[in-house]
Amino acid sequence: MAEKTTLKVDGMSCNHCKKRVEKALQALDGVHEAVVDLEAGTAEVKYDESKVSRGALIGAVAAAGYRAELTPRNRK
Ligand SMILES: [Cu+2]
């Protein structure tokens, strides 16, 4: 099943950052789409929850050099 979540991403300052984060997320198996809103400091991710966890999404962003966390409404 496709799931959609919004991550809060800290440390992005320009389009280069935006691309890096989007690429890092899209590189994960199971991620269908990742769209960063630079001004809001968020990443909207559509993914297959049977293939990739939210923790893995956050880990991929961290590996790219940024800090990600779940937005409050997505925290379960
Ligand atoms: Cu940048």
Q: What range does the domain containing 59 cover?
A: 2-74
pLDDT in tens, 20-48: 999 999 999 999 999 999 999 999 999 99
- Mean pLDDT of the chain, nearest integer: 94
How many domains does the chain fold into?
1
Is residue 3 classed as helix, strand or coil in its secondary structure?
A: strand
Q: What percent of the chain has pLDDT over 90?
A: 89
CA 42 – CA 56 distance, rounded (Å): 16
CATH number, domain containing residue 45? 3.30.70.100
The side-by-side arrangement of strands in the sheet containing 67-70 is 31-37, 42-48, 2-10, 67-70
DSSP character for 40?
T
Distance 14 CA to ligand 1 centre (A): 4
pTM of the predicted structure, to 2 decimals? 0.92
pLDDT score recorded for residue 76: 54
Mean pLDDT of 41-56: 96
- Give residues whose Cβ lies within 5 Å of ion ligand 1: 13-14, 16-17
Q: What is the pLDDT of residue 75?
A: 57
- Cα 58 to ligand 1 centre (Å): 18
54 three-state secondary structure: helix
Decide: 20 and 43 in contact? Cβ < 8 Å. Answer: no
